[in-house]
Every structure is written in structure tokens, then in C-alpha cells.
């Protein structure tokens, strides 16, 4: 008998204050406790003293939320605590003080020798070099006087502060890193590259254009200021229209609920592998990073390799969805998508692929399925996804108890974590490139932001519901419960080592969001058959490595089930780069773990109760 599908699931009622999320152990307090209790029944009397603590707590949260809007979501207490910790430990370390005095003297001597060499016309090698991710000094004018001296003076100060904020015995490592990070941000504000009279590139452009660059830069500044003050979301340019240029792989939406849409893509080959593929993207950004322009679309390429491909497109939550939990994303997201796929492609297991946070959630779901004897997965692929967060890179600088509580208060007031509050943290990690270089190009050189497919996607950010993000920050990131064996699904702890299906883990060499050594630790916490691949590029550029992309390479290794663990340094020393894209390597791995070819399946499952609702890319991709 054919059943009737539920195309739009009913709104899940908000949890009561006493209900605990399923993914939190009983011993851990709820991540977002109710502050204001539910109103009493008609006719009942509530004593004023019982209400007072709740009102006081609500007042505190409102005050912190107001402060968070001023600080951009950064906790002043966390920043002051870092400086105080650093200052107290440096004050009691006379040896380090002497070392810093000697370093200052040495830097001054190097700088003086460089300056004198320039005076006498003798070529002197620059004593200080910018960092590998700092493009601000690429103009040839920085090799001429006096600009070269100004550059070296700035880099000398930067070098000294880097040494001053290095680890000290007793100093919390996070506070050392945090003070160093904050000092880099402060120094970047006074870099000579930021001033028209101190930057040779700006001066040359001003002379060449008779000052027109400054006029155009002022117009760019006013335009940006208007959008920031109005909190306006920039529209996707027509030349990158969604569904026509970007996210244009043909397909249909076969399921929709309040949280996500399931897209099934139309086949482009006469035969396909029997097992379908489910792609689980991160919910922090829209899914079409994996379906950009036709020439670099990961999804389009996968369809062309002869696979039946399904993809989740998450909604962009609003304030009325603040109560969505991490468990909702698992049950109403991944598990619901698997249910849909099993109905449309019956009798076949599913190759699941998770990217970034989607990969973390997929690992949770796969471990829970293994624990419960659910064998619907054929394999698990994790792309730039972490399951252990002890070495999560510079994002850890933004997280401690004070910082998380501060973010929770801000989300409590608005119901979600907004776009600027997330994108600002990511941009600050690479401020010299993502903030200051862009500002110089746009406001001083008068260059417009020429959109590309990936910059359009970067600017098309989403919100995250308050409850889910709090649970993620506390349970997954801050307390690292997944790898510690303390993450519970439906009241019972999961273990990654229960995952027995083949795994393929992809990391990228210069990832500052999911550092490759952190991603590699998936091999430490799992026991099954596992391939680990390290590819050139960053968090996004390394994944978008289509065949034919110039200058690409990757390393790949295979760990048999129950084999001994090998550390990341030993692993990379024993695996040499292979030129080219990693996509075909993964494609061969996927095909080898499929059961064979069958006739191509048309998109849409009318006979299974899941007819086409809309053409891909669906509705949620267009939500502002």
C-alpha cells in the first residue's frame, strides 16, 4: 500500500524548562536553562521571593546581552583575565624579562644595521619577514626607502610581542595564545600598510589616478557602513544567481520539514552505483559550497561519476526556532533524510558524507546507529570534520566558560547567533588578509570587491539557533564529550569505536578552522578500516579541488581495522604527495565499496510517497 508523505512536518512544541535534551548526560546541567518560569495556572498564587531570583537572573542576562552587542560577542572578562594571568606570570619571571630585554636590544641592532645599510647604499638583507598568510607587503615599493624601514620597524615590534606572549611556566596556554592574538590585532591597527602616506602602493595609485581611487574608496566605505549599520544582507549578484549559475545541478526537493530539505539530484549517466550517497553539509553556512559553479561543483562531479546523490539543505533559523537542539539536527535532519532515502531507494545501504560540522554530526549519528544495531550505512566520509576538539586551532581562543556564558546571554536575548557574530570570529583569525588587506584595497585603492562563486557563498551566511549552538559549544567543543566518551544520544553514551563501516577522512594542509592534526585524531578514536587523506589547501579551497585544478596534490594512507595507531608526524613523514585532485581517489574508494551498477533512478520518489516538491536547489537556500 502506498503511504501518503508528510511534506511539511508540524511544528515541534517548545520543550518545558524541566525537560533535558536527549544528548546531555543526566549529571550535566541543561545548556540553556529556562530563566523566566512558565506562567502559573489561573487562580494560583506564586510567592514573590520565589520569583525574585529568576527576575534577578533575567536582569543579569539582559545586561550581559546588551554588553555583548557592544563587544561583538567577545567577553571582556575573558580578555582581562588573559592579560592579568600573563602579566602576573611575567612579573615573577626575571629570566624571561631579561630575555625580552635582550631580544629588544637585538631587534634594535638589526633594525639599525638595516637602516645604516640603506643610508650608505649597501644592499642589506631584511632581518624580519612577514608571516606566510600576510599579503600586505607584496608591493615592490616596500623594498625602497623609507617604506622598507617602516615595514621592518613594524615587523620588529611584532616579533618582540610574539616572544613576549610565548608560553610561561604556570601560565595557561590558552591565555598565552589569547594575549598574543589580541596583541596582533592591536598592532595590525597601526601597521604602516593602513595609512595612505605610509603605504607606497596607495601613493602610487593616488598619483596614477589623480586621487580618483580615494574618491571611489570613500564611496565603498559609505556603502559598507550603510549595510553594517542597517544589518542588511547583500543580495547574491545576478551573475551568480542561485539555481542558475550556483547550485545549478539538476534535481528536485523530495522532502521538507521545518529544519531541512532533502534534495535528490537527477542522474547524468545511464547506470548508477546501487548504493545512494547522502551529503550532510554544515549548518553554519549554506550547502552550496559543495555545488558552486558547474566546473567546481563537488555534487555535479559526483553525479557524473554514476551515483544517486541526495543532499541536505538546512534552513536559516529565526528567533522562533531558538529551541531547536543538536538532537533535533540529528533526528529531524540526518535520520529523517536516511528514512526518505530508504523509501526512495529501498533495500540499499547509504554512503554518508559529512562536511565540517555536518561531519561531526554524522559521526555522532553513525556511532549511535552502530550502538543501536542500525546497519543502514555502507560507509562514512568526513571532510574537514573534527570528532576531537582538544587541538581545534585558534577558534579555541574564543571559547572558555566566560566566553560561552557571554554568547549564551546574547543568544538568549535574540534567539540565535547572528551572521556578523560568527563571520567576525573567522575573519579575525586571518585579520591581516581578510580584514586589513581588503580594507586597503577597497577604501584606499578604490578597488571593488569583484565577486567570485566562493566569495558569494562566504557572504551568504546563516544564523544558528540558540539552544543548538549552546549545546554544541559546551558539549562538543568546550567539554570535548564525543572523544571523551561522555556524549549521550537518547540518554546513552556513544563511542566512536563502535563505527565498523569503512571510513574515509579528508583533511586540508592549511585549515585554520579544522586543523589537519585535529582531524587526523579520528584515527585515534576509531578502530575500523580507515583511509586518511591530506590535501593541499584550506578549509574550503582544499575540499574544492576539482580534477584539473592547477598545483594540487594530496597524501593518502590506509589503516586496517584494529591496527595500531600511528601519530600524525610519523604518518606525514611516511606518505609522499601525489599530484592532482583528491576527488578521483575518493571516487575509486567509493566505487570499490559499492555492490555494482544498476539502471539510473529518476529524481523523485512518487511511488515511494516522496514526490517532487520543488526543483533544486529548493526554498531554504534563498532564506535571508
Catalytic sites, residue numbers: 356
State the DSSP code for 435: I
* Residue 427 CA to its chain's centroid (Å): 11
Residue 367 and residue 525 in contact, taking contact as beta carbons nearer than 8 Å: no
Cα 530 to Cα 38, 126, 523, 526, distances in angstroms: 49, 46, 7, 8
Question: Coil, helix or strand for 254?
Answer: strand
Cα 438 to Cα 432, 433, 446, 623, distances in angstroms: 9, 7, 11, 27
Provide the grid cell at 523.
584515527
Residue 521 and residue 391 in contact, taking contact as beta carbons nearer than 8 Å: yes
State the DSSP code for 197: G
Write the CB contacts of 154 (distance below 8 Å, at least 6 apart in sequence): 187, 190, 191, 192
DSSP code string of 506-558: EEETT-SSS-HHHHHTHHHH--S-EEEEEESS-TTTTT---TT-TT-EEEEEE
Instruction: Please list the alpha-helical segments (H only) found in 354-508.
Output: 357-371, 401-414, 419-429, 431, 438-439, 453-459, 466-471, 481-484
Provide the grid cell at 129.
619577514
Provide the grid cell at 538.
584550506
Write the CB contacts of 416 (distance below 8 Å, at least 6 apart in sequence): 317, 318, 319, 321, 322, 463, 464, 465, 466, 469
CA–CA gap between residue 210 and residue 597 (Å, rounded): 65
Cα 588 to Cα 265, 554, 593, distances in angstroms: 20, 15, 9
CA angle 569, 572, 573 (to 5 degrees): 85
Amino acid at each position: 500500500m502506498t503511504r501518503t508523505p508528510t511534506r511539511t512536518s508540524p511544528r515541534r512544541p517548545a520543550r518545558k524548562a524541566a525537560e533535558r535534551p536527549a544528548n546531555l548526560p543526566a549529571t550535566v546541567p541543561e545548556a540553556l536553562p529556562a530563566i523566566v518560569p512558565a506562567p502559573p495556572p489561573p487562580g494560583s498564587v506564586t510567592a514573590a521571593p520565589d520569583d525574585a531570583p529568576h527576575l534577578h537572573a533575567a536582569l543579569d542576562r539582559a545586561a550581559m546581552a546588551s554588553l555583548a552587542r557592544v563587544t561583538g560577542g567577545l567577553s571582556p572578562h575573558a580578555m582581562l583575565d588573559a592579560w592579568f594571568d600573563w602579566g602576573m606570570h611575567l612579573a615573577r619571571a626575571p629570566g624571561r624579562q631579561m630575555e625580552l630585554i635582550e631580544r629588544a636590544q637585538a631587534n634594535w641592532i638589526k633594525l639599525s644595521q638595516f637602516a645604516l645599510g640603506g643610508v650608505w647604499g649597501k644592499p642589506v638583507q631584511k632581518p624580519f619577514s612577514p608571516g606566510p598568510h600576510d599579503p600586505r607587503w607584496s608591493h615592490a615599493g616596500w623594498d625602497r626607502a623609507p617604506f622598507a624601514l617602516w615595514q621592518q620597524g613594524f615587523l620588529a615590534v611584532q616579533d618582540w610581542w610574539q616572544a613576549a606572549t610565548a608560553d610561561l611556566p604556570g601560565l595557561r596556554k590558552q591565555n598565552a595564545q589569547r594575549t598574543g592574538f589580541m596583541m596582533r590585532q592591536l598592532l595590525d591597527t597601526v601597521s604602516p600598510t593602513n595609512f595612505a602616506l605610509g603605504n607606497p602602493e596607495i601613493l602610487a595609485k593616488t598619483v596614477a589616478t589623480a586621487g580618483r581611487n580615494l574618491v571611489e574608496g570613500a564611496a565603498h566605505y559609505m556603502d559598507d557602513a550603510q549595510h553594517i549599520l542597517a544589518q542588511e544582507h547583500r543580495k547574491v549578484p545576478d551573475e551568480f544567481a542561485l539555481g542558475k549559475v550556483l547550485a545549478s545541478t539538476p534535481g528536485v526537493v523530495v522532502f521538507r520539514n521545518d529544519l531541512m530539505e532533502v534534495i535528490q539530484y537527477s542522474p547524468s549517466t545511464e547506470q548508477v552505483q546501487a548504493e545512494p550517497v547522502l551529503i550532510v553539509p554544515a549548518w553554519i553556512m549554506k550547502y552550496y559550497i559543495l555545488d558552486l559553479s558547474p566546473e567546481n561543483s563537488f555534487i555535479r562531479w559526483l553525479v557524473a561519476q554514476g551515483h544517486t546523490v541526495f543532499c541536505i539543505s538546512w534552513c536559516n533559523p529565526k528567533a522562533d526556532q531558538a529551541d531547536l537542539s543538536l538532537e533535533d539536527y540529528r533526528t529531524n535532519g540526518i535520520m529523517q533524510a536516511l528514512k526518505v532515502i530508504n523509501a526512495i531507494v529501498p533495500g540499499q545501504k547509504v554512503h554518508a558524507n559529512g562536511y565540517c560540522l555536518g561531519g561531526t554530526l554524522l559521526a555522532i549519528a553513525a556511532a549511535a546507529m552502530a550502538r543501536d544495531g542500525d546497519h543502514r550505512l555502507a560507509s562514512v566520509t568526513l571532510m574537514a570534520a573534527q570528532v576531537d576538539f582538544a587541538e581545534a586551532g585558534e577558534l579555541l581562543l574564543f571559547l572558555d566558560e566566560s566566553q560561552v556564558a557571554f554568547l549564551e546571554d546574547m543568544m538568549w536575548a535574540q534567539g540565535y547567533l547572528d551572521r556578523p557574530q560568527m563571520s567576525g570570529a573567522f575573519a579575525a583569525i586571518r585579520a591581516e588578509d581578510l580584514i586589513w588587506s581588503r580594507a586597503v584595497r577597497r577604501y584606499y585603492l578604490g578597488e571593488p570587491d569583484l565577486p567570485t562563486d566562493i566569495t558569494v557563498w562566504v557572504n551568504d551566511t546563516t544564523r544558528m539557533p540558540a539552544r543548538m549552538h549552546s549545546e554544541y559549544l559546551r558539549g562538543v567543543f568546550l567539554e570535548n564529550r564525543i572523544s571523551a566518551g561522555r556524549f549521550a544520544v537518547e540518554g546513552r553514551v556513544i563511542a566512536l569505536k563502535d563505527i565498523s563501516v569503512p571510513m574515509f577522512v579528508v583533511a586540508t594542509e592549511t585549515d585554520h578552522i579544522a586543523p589537519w592534526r585535529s582531524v587526523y585524531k579520528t584515527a585515534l578514536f576509531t578502530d575500523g578500516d580507515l583511509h586518511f587523506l591530506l590535501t593541499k589547501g584550506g578549509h574550503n579551497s582544499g575540499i574544492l579541488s576539482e580534477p584539473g585544478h592547477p598545483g594540487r596534490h594530496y597524501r593518502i594512507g590506509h589503516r586496517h581495522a584494529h591496527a595500531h595507531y600511528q601519530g600524525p608526524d610519523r604518518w606525514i613523514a611516511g606518505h609522499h604527495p601525489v599530484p592532482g585532485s583528491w576527488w578521483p581517489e575518493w571516487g575509486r574508494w567509493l566505487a570499490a565499496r559499492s555492490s555494482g551498477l544498476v539502471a539510473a533512478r529518476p529524481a523523485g520518489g512518487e511511488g515511494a510517497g516522496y514526490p517532487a516538491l520543488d526543483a533544486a536547489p529548493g526554498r531554504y537556500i534563498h532564506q535571508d
